[in-house]
A = this chain, B = another copy of it.
Amino acid sequence: MQNMADKLLEEINKKQNPSVVGLDPRINQIPEFITKRNLEAYGNSFKAAANAIIEFNKLIINAISETLPAVKPQIAFYEQYGPEGVRAFKETVDYAKEKGLIVIGDAKRNDIGSTAEAYADGHLGEVKMIEGSMPSLNADLITVNGYLGSDGLMPFIEACKKHGKGIFILNKTSNPSSGELQDKKTEEGKTVYEIMAELIDKLGKDLTGQKGYSPIGAVVGATYPEQAKILRNLMPKTIFLVPGYGAQGGGAEDVVPCFNEDGYGAIVNSSRGIIFAYEKEPYKDKFKPEEFHLASRQAAIDMKKDILDALKKNGKLPEGWNA
């Protein structure tokens, strides 16, 4: 049976594109023609902000759905607006799935026991209703934080098994201070991120699908290519979600170690660099604010080319792909 790793790899292969766009809508970077009409319709309210986000996201999704296998809405940018914001998140997830995209909810959730179960039910599975249960936020995969250890992760893994979903566990994150904890070397000579990698590998081992990958993935920052090399060896069957490309400073060469030799096993994220491309060179001169989604499409195509070129140069372009 196909697991979520198979589904994700199938989409990546179909579009010959191992990248994902982060839908992180910052209200003050959404073009004014959208915010203005929502302001007029709903006043300066959470509803206006939420509707502007939905409108913005839908145009982006329409523009990139043929190029990209997946989108990654970052729930912080929605949740901050309360109930209205979570409605915008939910509508974004539903719309992206309707357009054939895999949806990775970037939630970094973490808790234990029945609380972790509630998160897993809400984001991936089915929530307990007054009578019976039903799906709620219903993403395909979400990111989770493993600081609490395996019993904090098991409820998410159970949801993956039961509902055919997936997770990405934070491992070596892309930010400057990620090493404060994650790089600490233990008595056994392993770093904290290596211990986390062994845990991720162990938790996913028995869940590999038709293509040999587990639905229990890892978040490995593009900003740490040396560590990515080590992690690639520790977790051969794990898909890496790679943030840090673009705005955070990671280049295409930096993401290459995240891929296995056959060119699979990683998906690279860019958020601001794609969705707000219309504000930046070289897109700023070519696209009007009203064409922001076309700028995003062009930026997504350019990102794909950048990554495929680097894979090709390093002998990692997947068989049958064109670059």
Contact = CB atoms under 8 A, between A and B. Distances in A.
Contact of A111 (B76, B114, B151): B76
B175 A76 contact: no
A130 B128 CA distance: 36
Nearest to A154: B177
Interface in A1-51: 24, 26-28, 35, 38-39, 44-46, 48-49
Interface residues of A, number: 75
A77 B118 contact: yes
Copy count, this protein chain: 2
B80 A86 contact: no
Interface string A182-198: 10111100001001100
Interface in A103-118: 108-116, 118
B175 A184 contact: no
Interface of A: 24, 26-28, 35, 38-39, 44-46, 48-49, 52, 74, 76-77, 79-87, 90, 108-116, 118-119, 121-123, 127-132, 136-137, 145-152, 170, 173-182, 184-187, 192, 195-196, 199
29 contacts: A27-B130, A28-B128, A38-B130, A44-B131, A45-B129, A46-B129, A48-B129, A49-B129, A76-B118, A76-B122, A79-B86, A80-B118, A82-B86, A82-B87, A82-B90, A82-B122, A82-B136, A82-B137, A83-B83, A83-B90, A110-B145, A146-B181, A148-B177, A149-B175, A181-B196, A185-B187, A186-B187, A187-B187, A192-B192
